[in-house]
Chain A
């Protein structure tokens, strides 16, 4: 297989007259952890939403494993092999933690069966339990998801994303709003997950991702400013000017 898992060809996005993103051509190598960074309003989230299928681009093409997926409906992404976690925590708040993941696992197997009792599918519960173990939430399995701590809900979201056995995992600011301790745990989890699959991470705090990323993409004012290894980015004069010169977060 190709060693590029995802690439975008001259994608752009306009919201009315406002151009949020223009002409981004970039490719993401398979197996690598690539971080998309940039100051506030750089277009990171817009770019993330385009590659994760939240909305279609105004221009350009998105290619996943040599297949044009531009404009594919969101619910097909799980089957394609792409999963994501949202910037704002997105779980099923009134359902138990285990059932949250079980529902995510079920999507691969059964979506419209209205007659078979769920109780006859224990393998889904088992799989959900395994995923909770990976993200360290097994002892929280019976808690209602909405009552979990913020960091735990984010981890739960990642467990749900993993349920579709994605080859590409997209994470939008997974540490947003987290305490330093939760952030550290989350970064460890991300490094662990990146060992087994391709991960693309959107992050506002550059310091966090410098140490763990294989590659970095820097966006600024809706344009691709630079891309390369963390060392190359660190040495890049333009990046220094627009990004590192700012107050560090």
Chain B
């Protein structure tokens, strides 16, 4: 769809372009908070897409990884008085730990069974969080993650200012994008593709398919956990809905909308979804109807997603 030469030029300068885009992005948005939301959900969808697009496994339990990261970050800050950066780190590790628990059981299955097992296990996480009120605040959500100023490298920053907050989140997102591009370009990235393409051949080549899947799930949990932690800092609260299965469905929609298996697709999907939600809800409370219709139209007419369609025709 886009001219090949243009795509090639963009590809060559992708690092500079991505950073430039992250810098000007909040200025293009109607308000700053939505820019932060798009980055956080984009990062969440990015982590999800590692399983879905790159490895070809549809997980319906990624809310547990996202929410797990959010709770781990919130609990570290609220109950242990951890500094903000330790909360972010804790959230990332928390996402990975929950991914390891769920993954250990779920990676034996595939297809619809994988989707169902991950869904069931993530609902278990939801109910545990719902019951453990002393830790999680139960149905009221985890409150008290109030950060007015954050400090790093001897620098104290006003975290209440929306634009500053955006750039803090954007810095983490940029790091995550860099990490993901390294992973996809690594030998392990090639193994992920091999396992998606043909499990039997990957095994015959000498790759342990289960271990590969497990590792990908844990890495995916790291990205989603980081997104969850940033969400906790951004909202100053972790609502219990973060863990609910609707969140899992949301990320599937975002990844599909943007284009599964493409690098920036998840961000585009998250952006389009959240912008539609915000704009349409300005004039009707039935915004879900319109966002839903847009999603159905997208799946029917652009099965490769928005980003995937724009890139279509480009040689792999």
Closest to B216 in A: A114
* Contact among B182, B189, B206, B219 with A107 in the assembled complex (CB-CB below 8 Å): B206
Interface size on A, residues (CB 8 A): 42
**What are 7 A-to-B residue pairs whose CB atoms are below 8 Å?**
A102-B190, A103-B190, A111-B212, A112-B187, A112-B212, A160-B205, A164-B206
* Cβ–Cβ contact B187 & A116, under 8 A: yes
**A interface with B by C-beta (< 8 Å):** 73-79, 83-84, 86, 90-96, 99, 102-104, 106-119, 121, 144, 157, 160-161, 163-164
Residues of B contacting A118 in the complex (Cβ-Cβ under 8 angstroms) = 185-187, 189-190
Query: Once the chains are docked, how many angstroms separate the CA of A109 from the CA of B191?
Result: 12
Query: Once the chains are docked, how many angstroms separate the CA of A121 from the CA of B189?
Result: 14
Q: Which 8 pairs of residues, A with B, have the shortest CB-CB distance?
A: A78-B206, A92-B197, A107-B206, A110-B187, A114-B188, A90-B201, A107-B205, A74-B203
B interface majority secondary structure? helix
Q: A90-B198, A114-B183, A117-B185 are in contact. Are A106 and B190 (CB under 8 A)?
A: yes
* Cβ–Cβ contact A84 & B186, under 8 A: no
The interface size bin for chain B is: 20 to 34
* Cβ–Cβ contact A92 & B198, under 8 A: yes
Residues of A contacting B190 in the complex (Cβ-Cβ under 8 angstroms) = 99, 102-103, 106, 118
* Cβ–Cβ contact A78 & B183, under 8 A: no
B146 within 8 A of A: no
* Chain B window 191-229, contacts with chain A (Cβ cutoff 8 Å), 1 for yes, 0 for no: 101100110110111111101100100010000000000
Min CB distance B216 to A, Å, is 10
* Cβ–Cβ contact A75 & B207, under 8 A: yes
Query: Once the chains are docked, how many angstroms separate the CA of A118 from the CA of B190?
Result: 9
Query: Once the chains are docked, how many angstroms separate the CA of A161 from the CA of B198?
Result: 14
Residues of A contacting B185 in the complex (Cβ-Cβ under 8 angstroms) = 117-119
Q: A117-B182, A117-B186 are in contact. Are A74 and B204 (CB under 8 A)?
A: yes
